[in-house]
Structure 1
Amino acid sequence: MQQFSGYRLSQQGFSLIELMISLVLGLMISGAIVQVLVSNQVTERLNRSMASTQESGRFIMTRLRAELLTTGRYDPIDANLERSVDVVSEASFVKNHPIILPGDFANALDLGSLQGASGANDTLVAGMQGGQDCRGYKLGYLGDQEFYVVNEYYVEDNKLKCRGFDGRVLRGQRAAVGNNGDAAFTLLDDVYGFQVVYGVSNSALTNNNSGRPVRYVTANLLPAEIAGGSQVVAIQIAILLKGEGEVYIEQVPTFKLLNETEITPSDHGLYKQFETTISFRNVKNFLRSTKV
């Protein structure tokens, strides 16, 4: 019988060069994966910041438009209007003072729309007939009763805030009830710019009662405009918001809010500018029915 000798099996490992090549390839692949993960994280933070800023901008512009659209509104025959004061006299005051200026109210001489100095944030104060102030307070009125509402909007510590007042209290016609201007509500955080300009109409310049704005001016110029026969019929609002989260923008953009000089944020965060124009249709209707 023929016998076959067994095969001798030998084992051979990787050489040092092969191990080094494998390690280098592994490090390259790991580095690429880490880079993709970091890039995805940065992109996700940027997208979240952009989405939050866009949502905040739409929210605040929608809210301001809803609250300010009825500026100058007053209907003395409205069944819901509370009538403990002379509503004819009040109607004349409200319609002729849609935008409140310092000195308009005997009990609050400093309350009024202001132009911020050297690019600082502006203050906006508007009046109208309503059932509650910008905070949702009824200030002592009952049920569906409406009254002369005065709302103030301003920025403090990068927060857009509002306060509400009973105009009758400000005019010395009624004692204060409830939260009459003593508690400000924050409408929006991360506000780094709030600017307002006012569209004025003047029938002597337009030769008609169209109520269309002939120019836009800042709050400090309004007293002279009104003394010259003009009336505020519209406003333009610009707001600069900063996005949420830690976002680094390599090239910081420059922003120009209405009449102000250009500004460049001091950090590399995500900023976005929003603007809107609000026409006071109640004031325009009032001007069209009278000779201003």
Structure 2
Amino acid sequence: MTIKFRNHQNGLSLIELMIALLLSSLLIIGVTQIYIDNKQSYIFQQNQTGNQEGSRFAAMLIEKELYRAGHRRLAQDSFAIAFPYQAAANGCPAFSVGELAKPSTSGSGVCLRYQRSYDNDVDCLGNGITSDTPVITRIERNANNELICMAQGTSGTLLENLNNLIFEYGVNTDGSRVANKYLTAPTAGASIVAVRYSTLMASTSDGQAIGKDSYYFPLYSDTANTPTDNKLYKSAQGTTTLRNIAQ
């Protein structure tokens, strides 16, 4: 009697298993790399967008308050009548008669004063202004890289991640109410008719820039700044004519 045996393959050979593992590993590595690249690109774009939006928002907030400088409830009143002497307050030095804008006590912010426009008018923090007494407002960057506003004895944060902020004051020297020069520290009693501001936003995440993201701050500077980290930076600049003064 003849007995026949059939060879049946059960499972995979070692070589086939190794090939399958290799192909699977390559596929997983490729998918993982695509995910990491997409996530890095997403974070990069988010930080870039955040810097751009922050720069625009900072400009809007600063300009909104600068436009109010020197506003008089009664247009026929002179600046001397509408804005008498006021003692130092809200981190601002004393204002002499008719003085409307000046550097803050620290020298790094701007102080201005105005009268309310209508009965239900509010200050920079949304608090109601209950009288025609001139409101002294200070706009400044604090040690926590926040844009703050202080008015009527109350301080609040308007914006975060503000890495730097510089104010320069357009001074008129010939009575034309046009800025003849810009100074960071104008002399007392100088006729300030415009304010130039420079903002520098920094990304919330580090390690986003390829190398060190050099930037110019202020924008008109001839020397680039090289940060110590790998954050993304956005430098912006604007100039606001104090329309209630230079008219």
Query: Is this a same-fold pair by TM over 0.5?
Result: yes
Identity of aligned residues (%): 24
Q: Does 1:102 align with 2:93?
A: yes
User: Aligned-pair distance for 1:115?
Assistant: 8.8
Equivalent-residue separation in structure 1 for 2:160 and 2:124 (angstroms):
17
- Which protein has the bigger helix share? 1
Amino acid at match of 2:113: G
Given the alignment of the two structures, is residue 153 of structure 1 paired with residue 139 of structure 2, yes or no? yes
Question: Secondary structure of the residue that 1:186 maps to in structure 2?
Answer: strand
Amino acid at match of 1:242: A
Aligned to 1:280: 242
Quick check: 1:199–1:233 contact (8 Å CA) kept in 2? yes
Q: Which position in structure 1 is the counterpart of 2:125?
A: 135
Equivalent residue number for residue 88 of structure 2:
none
In the superposition, the TM-score normalised over structure 2's length comes to 0.77
- Number of matched residues? 228
Is residue 125 from structure 1 mapped to residue 111 from structure 2 by the alignment?
A: yes
Q: Which residue of 2 aligns with 1:186?
A: 157
The answer as to 2:18 corresponding to 1:20 is: yes
Query: Are residues 224 and 105 of structure 1, via their aligned partners in 2, closer, same or farther at CA, if it must alter by over 3 Å?
Result: closer
Q: Relative to structure 1, is the Cα distance of residues 234 and 256 closer, same or farther in structure 2, using a 3 angstrom cutoff?
A: same
Q: Distance in 2 between matches of 1:251 and 1:22?
A: 39
Tell me whether 53-62 or 12-21 shows the greater mean CA deviation: 12-21
Match of 2:229 in 1: 267
Q: Which amino acid aligns with 1:161?
A: I
CA RMSD of aligned residues (A): 3.3
How many angstroms apart in 1 are the aligned matches of 2:140 and 2:240? 17
Which position in structure 2 is the counterpart of 1:250?
210
**Residue identity matched to 1:280:** L
Report if the CA contact (8 A) 1:45-1:246 is conserved. Answer: no
Instruction: Tell me, yes or no, if structure 1 residue 233 matches structure 2 residue 193.
Output: yes
Matched, 1:199 2:174: no
Deviations 1:60-101 (A, max 9, x none): 2112112211322225357xxxxxxx977433659xxxxx97
Task: Give secondary structure in 1 for the equivalent of 2:246.
Answer: helix
When residues 277 and 203 of structure 1 are mapped into structure 2, their CA distance, relative to the original with a 3 A threshold, is same
Residues 71 and 115 in structure 2, CA contact (< 8 A), matched pair in contact too: yes
Distance 1:276 1:216 in 2: 13
Matches within 5 A, 1:84-103: 89-91=80-82, 102-103=93-94
In the alignment, the residues of structure 2 paired with residue 254 and residue 225 of structure 1 have an alpha-carbon distance, to the nearest angstrom, of 38
CA contact (8 A) 1:129 1:149 kept: yes
Amino acid at match of 1:153: I
Give the TM-score normalised by structure 1: 0.66
Aligned amino acid, residue 31 of structure 1: I
1:51 is displaced (CA, Å) by 2.0
2:62 is matched with: 64
Query: Aligned partners of 1:70 and 1:91: how far apart in 2?
Result: 14
Work out the CA distance in 2 between the residues paired with 1:251 and 1:245. 14
User: Are residues 1:41 and 2:39 paired?
Assistant: yes
Alpha carbons of structure 1 residues 112 and 92: separation in structure 2 relative to 1, 3 Å: closer
Contact 2:167 2:198 in 1 (8 A): yes
Counterpart of 2:187 in 1: which secondary structure?
helix
Give the distance between the partners of 1:244 and 1:30, measured in 2 at CA.
Answer: 31
The alignment partner of 1:251 has SS state of: coil
Residue identity in the other structure for 1:129 = Q
Secondary structure at the aligned position of 1:31 is classed as helix
In structure 1, stretches of 5+ residues that fail to align are 1-6, 79-85, 95-99, 165-179, 286-292
